[in-house]
Structure 1
Amino acid sequence: MVRKFLSGLLGGITPAARFRHACRLLEHEGRSAQGFALLARLARGGMVAAQYQVARAYLDGSGVPRSPVEGVRWMHTAARAGHVEASFSLALMLLVDPPGHGGDHRGADGLLPASWPGGIDRWPDPEAAAGWARQAAEGGLPDAQALYGYLLATGPQSMRDPQAARMWCERAARAGCPQGDLGLAVTHLAASDQSPGTDPDAVAALIRAADSGLSTAQYMLGLLHERGWGLPPDRARAEHWYACAAAQGVRPAQARYGALLLEDMDGRPRNAMTAETWLRRAALAGDREAAALLGDLHAHGEAALPGDHEALIWYHRAAEQDHAVACRMLALLYMHGRGTAADPEQARHWLARAAELGDVAAMTDLAAALVAQGQQAHSDPGLPLPDFLPAAQAGDPVAAFNLAVCLRGGVGGVTDPVQAASWMERAANAGVVNAEYWYGRMLLDGEGVATDVAHARHWLERAAGHGLAEACVAAAQLRLEGRGGPRDHAGALALYHRAARSGRTEAMFSLGAMYGGGHDLPPDRGLALHWFTQGAEGGNALSQLMLGRYLARGLAGPMDRARARYWLEQAAACGVRAARDELDHMTRTDEHAPT
């Protein structure tokens, strides 16, 4: 009797009231199933708003077991009937992998539908997504306007329309939609005819989007601050925005935040421990730069639990994604048996890959490996040697460089300095930095080509301009001596500093000598002592000699004869005769000193 009464009462309620009642029940934890049942009846009866809510319930598992397949079907039904939010939701869904597990078109209920709803032919489908986004955008939904603008700016080439993209994003931004501001920035950054950050309106829009909490905007703003695109370079602000985006799970932001934490900044010391945490998150999500940096932390003993085995794992992750420096570092681990058994074949493989990817240092290491391999081939004729000639003749500049190295070093039993110089020049003209250096050396020494110091200086300085440490040292020496061009002690000093930052101990010695006096620079014996110390600790014998002299004579502070003797002994052990003479002099002086 009561049920019949309630049934009659509900039958008199308007469909809109029943819809509101069903939605309230769906949100009630204990009555969500009842709410879904009411919505389902309204949806089957053709109520579009109910169809949208049923779709959401299936997708969320609210009041009914979760079923992405049914969710898609009902969302498509509502969108096709013109429901704005359903159109927008369907557009978003069509931009990502199909609902279900592993992109196999299976829903969480494990059922494979015979076909997608009518009108859905493939998944993902950016063009179809753009169609549904446009329908929602024209229906006045600001989020859809932003999405449609974004797709017009960055989608498949066939559907791009920069002017329309900007119009839709501006409309969304005027409606107070942060995604609209982000879309404005993206449309500017995606334009091939403009440099990033040159549009002040786009930068302002990006700042608004970042301030509103959009993680993508925060990451992009970090990039602008770090690289000085449209904003003054500010690494502290870049770090702030990267941190905000990283906390929201943006993988590249996690990688850049971790990288910046490894740098010293004004007011904030280097923080390797926190950096490792963020780099690990990014690397596990597939970021190759983060994986390479993690490899560095482990290889250099700076990780929380450092170890060569861990370094090997992370370098492998990055190398398999064609990270050139990681390929070279992986080769070095295999070469020296760190974290794994020594494996020359693996070392050569990864060195060759790094060289192919343009890593300058790997080209030098590969050249040395090739020469060593060629020397071994003399005693083992069956050892296979790489043939770089076909690729070099086809125009591959790295192959031309490697061929030149082989011809110069006699790899394979053939030494031809003239051909070596010819191929080295080709590689240098193609921009292979190591070839620029070696061609400069060959011109300087008259190796396979007529001696031309001015031309040699040109090539060495070109390689130095790319940061190649060996080239910096050689070019600095020419500037110092005024060979192949004017004397330039200040320029030589700058080049030596660049090489010293790369760990070149001979450059550290040269800096100590220049600061010690006798050059076109104000003497600074404190700096001279600093650089001689750096070079001596790095194993440079001449730096050890000069450090011993400075300490023995108190040339830049108090005398320290015990330390002086130690460093002179190190230099003497390396065969520096002057160090032995200094030690003998110290011994005689000590013997005749009053007791």
Structure 2
Amino acid sequence: MKKIATVLFTLAVCRFTFAADAADTFQNYHGGNYIESSAELNVLAEKNNSEALYSLAQMNLYGFGVQKNPTKALELMTKSATLKYLPAELYLGNYYFQEKHDVPTALLWYKHAADADHSDAQIFVALAYLNGYGTKINKDTARKYFIMAAKKNIPIAQYELAQLFFENKHAVDKKMARIWLMKAAENNYPDAQYQVGVMLYTGNQYDKDERQGKEWLQKAEKNGHMNAKKFLADLITQNTVTEPQKQASSLSPEQQWQALNTLLNNVHISLKNPFVATAGNDALTKTPQLVPISKTSIVRADFSVIKPNEIPMDSVISYLSKIDYIQQKPPFYFPIYPFVFPSNTSDYQQAFTTLQRQIEFGHPKSFFLLGQMYDQGLGVEKNGQHAFDLFMKSAEFGYLKAEYMVGIYYLKGCVVQKNPQTAIAWLAKAALHGSQPAQFVLGSIYEFGWGKQHRPDAIAKNPIISQAMYSLAAQTGSAIAQYRLAQLYASGILNPDNNNEVEKSNIAMAYPLFISAAKQNIPQAKIALSYFYAKPNQPKNIQENAFAIAEKAADEGNSNAALLAAIMYDRGIGIDQSHRKAMRYYKKLADTRNAIAEFMLGTYYYLDKDNAKAIALLEKSAEQGDAYALYNLAVLSQKNIYQPPGKDYLTLLQKASQQKFNKATLLLADDYLMNAHDTESMKKAADIYHQLAEKQEATAELKLGYMYENGIYFNKNMAKAQEWYLLSAKHNNPIAQYLIGMNYQLGKGVERNVNEAITYYTRSAAQNYLPAQVALGFVYELDKHDYQQALQWYVKAADCHNPQAQYNLGLMYEYGKGVKIDTKKSHALFKEAVKNGYTPTDANAKMAAQNAGPSR
């Protein structure tokens, strides 16, 4: 029994190993490494692997990695198709139909492809059987394949299926015919629109409806249907007459091919093998190259200082808002409901008399208004106790304004013993009943806390409840609540974990709230709004207005506004760029011990090679806890520029990291990983990446994916790697987007899908990631055979001096792919590629590079 188990286990391992080897082989092939994959493909082909046979056929057909051999290519392609490999079946169908005009043989292969659910093949087979092209007429078989295609919403299939159903006499068939015909018409198929229009206009098959019939005929005419145009012109009642099809026996094989080709062209179905420009016969075709991505390019630690003008504006907004928040005093004030005179009264004496009479009838509002008079001394002497008693009676009836006032009395301890918990209960009642002042006051209490925190009756800060209460008040138009809520969002108070995506979301939430508060003349909101108006994506006039506000506030002594003005000068936002004027602001602010100005000024001194001044300012900023300054000092320490006792690189980096500065934490993890000589260091790196990934830090997600893919600390797990790459890509990391694209292109850990590869490569390329731009050119050239798109991407990357792009572009000119053959330009591009560090990866590339020779 043990022997049987061992044999079964061995077989399972062999199968797994074979599958893994095959996957690597095809990844090499799809990555353009034809020579490297050739031997393995031959081994697989001998084992009747249909994909390997097809790949070898392509190599022999185009001279990729082997000498061109069309005869062998056809033999391999036929063997692959016989094993039911769909691309091979389609290739042979296209080959026999377009190149040999052999409809019967083409039909044989297209039928296999149609049975494998290929839509265009299904249309071809259905039309062939319907008309007797390459075979005998068989309408049942035609109907079968039309149904397959019609279910995929292909209008010609729907239309032809309707015609077949109309030929039958059964009512059910007629109904099916009408359904399919209408579907084809709705899918903008002109013949169907014309037929529906005529039938509705004449009342044939459909209930007569001349208006609808005319509408369908107009649609058909718009789509170029001549019979529809004639019908509308003449308005002659007529039934559609389908010209009788010629029998197969009356058409020669070549006429059958022409008729079928015309039908396919009319419905824009192109069954053609792509044209591929290649080397001459018995020669190797040089093939394009992808940009190699090394471990170092992904895992490496980046020991560069943070440059002031590279800090994202969202982070600047958050930083300035945080300073605003820290510097402000708790804005405790208690809104008062205005006194409203009762009906038919115009002075306080009349109001008092009327209200005294009304409270005898138990009117809650009257109790409240009378309470207001005693509370504020309106026409009567102030009497807090009497006011409270009246408010309480009104509140007991559920009058929300009175509930609010009772809460305020308990909160302040006016004539009643101070009781914050009872106050909260009454204020919460009022807030939930819709009292805007109660909502605002609760928001303030929970934002700043109430009472001495060591006392048992103190109310602790709770930003979440504060956010909820301010939100309720803000929704009903409270300007001060809108401002306070915007401050909570922008300052990072609601983002204690420093989550990148939460920061972006909160900044976006704060923006319209500041706008609304500023419109209602909250002065602090206008200054805060200028931070947002300084973003690069704002219109120029908005940026100019932001600068004007910042400069005016700076002149009035607002340090944050001065900092914003400096940043705008530094980046040329809303004003002509002037590093000199920015430095003047930074120096003035640094003299007042402004930490961020000290960081910015110190960093600029370092970039100007004045290390002594740089270190002095960065130390001052770091003493105040500025994470950016700590980070830059750590980098200078790593470069041996800054080496005070007890302040080594890791210590400084850890201090910056302790302030929840994700960039510092990430560099710490990178250092652990790059210098890992033991499992413990790799574990530290992995743990930190996980912590940052929970905050949606895209770079950490990327590195976790890479660790899983390559078995660094974790066991190799491509599925897990793909999960992390997808998360990182979702958070807009261009390298992750590129790696997902590559996985789809090569079929690495996922089913191969060139369209998905293009989607992810395009997202990465849009962020100017050069390997993705080259990969797009590669895929468009070799998979899509869209040479114009390939040229566009190669040119874009080559303009940025990417050597692989220059080499690939040189091949396009050598073979005339999408351009005229230009050997002089091709040679010049090869030279540029070598000059820019191009390293050939296979024999083809080496040959081109050697021919180019050294640059002169």
TM-score for both structures, normalised by structure 2: 0.39
- What's the offset of the Cα at 1:328? 9.4
Aligned residues with identical type, % of pairs:
15
Matched, 1:373 2:605: yes
Q: Deviations over 1:226-252 (max 9, x none)?
A: xxxxxxxxxxxxxxx97x624x76752
Aligned to 1:85: 369
**In structure 1, distance between residues paired with 2:367 and 2:423:** 23
Tell me the SS of whatever aligns to 1:462.
helix
Shift of 1:316: 8.1
Instruction: Select the residue among 342, 352, 367 that pairs with 2:578.
Output: 342
Contact between 1:408 and 1:417, CA under 8 Å: does it hold in 2? no
Aligned pair in 2 of structure 1 residues 520, 245: CA closer, same or farther (>3 Å)? same
Mark the runs of 5 or more structure 2 residues left unpaired by the alignment. Answer: 1-340, 357-365, 447-457, 490-509, 822-856
Partner in structure 1 of residue 813 of structure 2: 587
AA of the residue aligned to 1:147: Y
Match of 1:147 in 2: 404
CA distance in 1: counterparts of 2:484 and 2:436, whole angstroms: 24
Shift of 1:541: 0.9
- 1:148 & 1:299 partners in 2: Cα distance? 43
Q: Report what 1:233 is aligned to.
A: none
2:609 maps to 1:386:
no
Cα 1:220–1:321 change in 2 (3 A) is farther
Pairs within 5 Å for 1:183-582: 220=468, 223=471, 245-246=476-477, 252=482, 280-284=515-519, 285-286=521-522, 296=532, 299-301=535-537, 306-312=541-547, 333-340=568-575, 341-343=577-579, 344-345=582-583, 372-378=604-610, 385-388=616-619, 400-409=630-639, 414=643, 419-429=648-658, 431-446=660-675, 452-555=681-784, 559-582=785-808
Distance in 1 (CA, whole Å) between partners of 2:648 and 2:672 is 14
AA in 2 matched with 1:135: D
Structure 1 residue 436, shift from structure 2 partner: 1.0
Q: Structure 1 residues 254, 131: CA separation in 2 closer, same or farther (over 3 Å shift)?
A: same
Cα distance 1:155–1:300, how it changes in 2: closer, same or farther (>3 A)? Answer: farther
Q: Spell out, residue by residue over 1:506-528, the C-alpha distance to the aligned partner (whole angstroms, 9 max, x if none).
A: 33322322332343233332222
1:279-328 deviations in whole A, cap 9, x for unaligned? Answer: 5332344487897677556745455x75432344578899999999x999
Confirm whether residue 159 of structure 1 aligns to residue 413 of structure 2.
no
- Identify if the C-alpha distance between structure 1 residues 498 and 572 changes in structure 2 by more than 3 Å, giving closer, same or farther: same
TM-score by length of 1: 0.54
Tell me, in whole angstroms, the C-alpha distance in 1 between the residues paired with 2:695 and 2:599: 19
CA distance in 1, matches of 2:677, 2:647: 4
The 8 Å contact of residues 288 and 323 in structure 1, kept in 2 or not, is answered as: no
Per-residue CA deviation, residues 383-405 of structure 1 (Å, 9 max, x unaligned), is 6731527965x987666445323
What residue number does 1:201 align with? none
1:134 to 368, 375, 388: 388
- C-alpha distance after superposition, 1:130-155 (max 9, x if no partner): 86752332454635531234326765
Equivalent residues of 2:708, 2:718 under 8 A apart = yes
Question: Residues 404 and 417 from structure 1, CA distance in 2 versus in 1: closer, same or farther, beyond 3 angstroms?
Answer: farther
Structure whose alpha-carbon radius of gyration is higher: 2
Secondary structure of residue in 2 paired with 1:486: coil
Contact kept, 8 Å, 2:367 with 2:394, in 1: the verdict is: no
Once the two structures are TM-superposed, the CA of residue 546 in structure 1 deviates from its matched residue by 0.5
Distance 1:592 1:396, change over 3 A: closer
- 1:176-228 Cα deviation digits (max 9, x unpaired): 97549977995999596898999xxxxxxxxxxxxxxxxx9xx958958xxxx
Between the aligned partners of 1:522 and 1:143, the Cα distance in structure 2 is 63
Q: Closer, same or farther in 2 for the Cα pair 1:283/1:390, shift >3 Å?
A: closer
User: For the Cα contact (< 8 Å) 1:189–1:197, is it kept in 2?
Assistant: no
Once the two structures are TM-superposed, the CA of residue 339 in structure 1 deviates from its matched residue by: 1.6
Give CA deviations for 1:409-453 in whole Å, capped at 9, x if unaligned. 455x65999811122124334533222111112222339999933
Contact 1:479 1:486 in 2 (8 A): yes
How far apart in 2 are the matches of 1:420 and 1:169? Answer: 51
SS of the residue 1:385 aligns to: helix
Question: Does structure 2 conserve the Cα–Cα contact (< 8 Å) formed by 1:280 and 1:291?
Answer: no
Distance 1:154 1:533, change over 3 A: farther
**In structure 2, C-alpha distance between the alignment counterparts of 1:591 and 1:397, rounded to whole Å:** 53
May I ask how many residue pairs the two structures share in their alignment?
A: 426
Distance 1:495 1:337 in 2: 37
- Partner AA of 1:88 in structure 2: Q
C-alpha distance in structure 1 between counterparts of 2:532 and 2:567, whole Å: 12
Cα 1:569–1:144, aligned 2, differ >3 Å: closer, same or farther?
closer
- The whole-number CA distance in structure 2 between the counterparts of 1:402 and 1:287 is 35
Report the Cα distance in structure 2 between the residues aligned to 1:288 and 1:487, rounded to whole angstroms.
Answer: 54
What SS is found at the alignment partner of 1:516?
Answer: helix
Instruction: State the AA in 2 paired with 1:452.
Output: S
- Give 5+ residue unaligned stretches, structure 1: 1-21, 28-35, 54-81, 95-116, 120-127, 199-215, 225-240, 260-274
Counterpart of 1:454, as a letter, is K
Whole-angstrom CA distance in 1 between matches of 2:373 and 2:551: 39
Partner of 2:363: none
- Please provide the CA RMSD for this pair: 5.9
